């Protein structure tokens, strides 16, 4: 088989890139290790920046998003049994939109199917070859048969555990990493959200987050030990712990119910540089991971796709240099989001052996955020997303 751009990984990055390139007349094949049902069952974060909604709109995947997304013009932060609000729209003129990554992925699959996009799922042993040469190709197995795709360019959209990043020699690749000493225990429940806006809670027992998918579906998280097993937390234990970490009036208003999903996620800051090597380009989680506190993971993947698709369209239009600055351009935005996500994570979580002094410093930082227009503007500007 031959294609112009072979995309490894059919998560949101790979599907969106394939969709945008196809609409520009560039041929792609997407290779996905899991089954489509598996990809569509993954529950991830749910906050889109305005810039992300614009890219999705230009890609023609906006109909359901625009009908169902919920506009949030601010967020609540709490500490010491009280909360305050940061108004995004007042400080930046922008808002964010609650619309689950699971829905974005479903919309992308539907759009790809409607255009006859080629997505080959349940493949194994995917391996790119000759990435420094003129004739790169990708091999993979499906149903015990080996296949080969000849292509011009290869894009690694295969997430943190993918095979693409590893192809960049260690003499060229530099990795920056911090694994946080805690995880998030997340619960999805068919209950009305406790608050119209998200609540990020700092507490001496650990962080908590009240989020949502729609007015009948809530998503809550509590900081936990990264080795905790979700099943070791009964629903009652989860709700009791959540109530302790949020202000009393919010806890009193919390509607609880059976969890329909419960999982533990580790928290990590990670960047691999450069994001391109020869004919290989990395996008999304394949190149960088943020802790979920700033809700930046999917948004960063979308800005990578935006930069790379623009460069590829220019490349195929005849600008042979168009691809050379992709890594530098994408990384500039990536590092901004890495820094913001690290800052917000550090401000809101309880660290092992955290002293009373450090707890007081966090609370003082939050008091500054509550009272300073400059601090709120800075936070709001980064939460709604830097322009791209
Ligand atoms: N071959 C083929 N596919 C692979 C391989 C492989 N060797 N390794 C991984 N994959 C697939 C995974 O099964 C997954 O579907 O690549 C896809 C990567 O998807 P994501 O992990 O969702 O990464 P990405 O598309 O970059 O999306 C970034 O997802 O993880 C969240 O927080 C993150 O919101 C962000 C978004
Ligand atoms: C979510 O709704 O899953 C969510 C929202 C905001 C975050 C992280 C996760 O910062």
pLDDT given for residue 338 in this prediction: 98
Specify whether 99 is catalytic: no
In this predicted structure, the answer to whether residue 44 has a pLDDT above a threshold of 90 is no
47 lines ligand 2 (CB under 6 A): yes
- The more confident residue out of 66 and 42 is 66
86's CB contacts (< 8 A; 6+ apart) are 74, 75, 76, 77, 369, 376, 379, 380, 383
- Which ligand 2 atom is at minimum distance from the Cα of 43? 3
Distance CA(233)–CA(164), nearest Å, equals 36
Structure confidence at residue 375 as a pLDDT band (50, 70, 90): very high
Q: What is the mean pLDDT of residues 133-156?
A: 97
In this predicted structure, the answer to whether residue 172 has a pLDDT above a threshold of 90 is yes
Give the tens place of pLDDT for each residue, 81-112.
Answer: 999 999 999 999 999 999 999 999 999 999 99
Structure confidence at residue 340 as a pLDDT band (50, 70, 90): very high
Domain edges within the chain: 5-72+95-177+268-343, 180-267+351-384
pLDDT given for residue 46 in this prediction: 87
213 lines ligand 2 (CB under 6 A): no
Q: What is the mean pLDDT of residues 290-311?
A: 98
In this predicted structure, the answer to whether residue 262 has a pLDDT above a threshold of 90 is yes
301 lines ligand 1 (CB under 6 A): yes
297 lines ligand 2 (CB under 6 A): no
CA–centroid distance, 266 to ligand 2, in Å, is 14
In this predicted structure, the answer to whether residue 42 has a pLDDT above a threshold of 90 is no
211 lines ligand 2 (CB under 6 A): yes
198's CB contacts (< 8 A; 6+ apart) are 47, 72, 75, 76, 209, 210, 211, 212
Calculate what percentage of the chain has a pLDDT beyond 70: 100
pLDDT given for residue 290 in this prediction: 98
Give the tens place of pLDDT for each residue, 197-249.
Answer: 999 999 999 999 999 999 999 999 999 999 999 999 999 999 999 999 999 99
CA–centroid distance, 331 to ligand 2, in Å, is 23
CA–centroid distance, 90 to ligand 2, in Å, is 22
CATH 3.40.50.2300 describes domain 180-267+351-384: no
CATH architecture of 5-72+95-177+268-343: 3-Layer(bba) Sandwich (3.50)
Catalytic residue among 22, 69, 72, 91: 72
């Amino acid at each position: 088989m031959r294609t112009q751009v072979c995309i490894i990984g059919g998560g949101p990055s790979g599907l969106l890139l394939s969709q945008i390139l196809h609409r520009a007349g560039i041929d792609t094949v997407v290779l996905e290790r899991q089954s489509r049902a598996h990809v569509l069952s993954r529950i991830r974060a749910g906050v889109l920046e305005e810039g992300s909604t614009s890219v999705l709109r230009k890609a023609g995947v906006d109909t359901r998003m625009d009908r169902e997304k919920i506009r949030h013009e601010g967020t609540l932060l709490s500490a010491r049994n009280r909360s305050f609000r940061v108004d995004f729209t007042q400080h930046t003129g922008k808002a964010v939109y609650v619309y689950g990554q699971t829905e974005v992925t479903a919309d992308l699959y539907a759009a790809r199917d409607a255009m006859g996009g080629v997505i080959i799922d349940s493949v194994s042993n995917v391996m790119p070859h000759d990435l420094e040469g003129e004739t790169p190709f990708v091999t993979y197995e499906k149903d015990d048969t080996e296949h080969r795709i000849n292509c011009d360019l290869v894009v690694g959209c295969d997430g943190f555990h993918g095979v693409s990043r590893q192809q960049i020699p260690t003499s060229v690749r530099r990795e920056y990493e911090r694994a946080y000493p805690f995880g998030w225990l997340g619960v999805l429940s068919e209950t009305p959200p406790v608050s119209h806006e998200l609540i990020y809670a700092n507490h001496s027992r650990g962080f908590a987050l009240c989020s949502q998918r729609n007015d009948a579906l809530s998503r809550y998280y509590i900081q936990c030990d990264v080795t905790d097993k979700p099943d070791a937390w009964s629903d009652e234990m989860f709700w009791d712990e959540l109530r302790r970490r949020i202000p009393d009036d919010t806890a009193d208003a919390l509607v609880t119910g059976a969890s329909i999903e419960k999982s533990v996620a580790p928290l990590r800051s990670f960047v691999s540089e450069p994001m391109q090597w020869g004919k290989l380009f990395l996008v999304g989680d394949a190149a960088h991971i943020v802790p979920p506190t700033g809700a930046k993971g999917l948004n960063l993947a979308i800005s990578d796709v935006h930069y790379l698709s623009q460069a590829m369209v220019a490349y195929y239009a005849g600008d042979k240099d168009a691809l050379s600055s992709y890594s530098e351009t994408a990384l500039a935005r990536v590092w901004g989001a890495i820094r913001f996500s690290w800052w917000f994570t550090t401000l809101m979580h309880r660290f092992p052996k955290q002293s009373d002094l450090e707890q007081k410093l966090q609370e003082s930082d939050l008091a500054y955020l509550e009272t300073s227009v400059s601090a709120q503007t800075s936070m709001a500007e980064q939460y709604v997303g830097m322009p791209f």
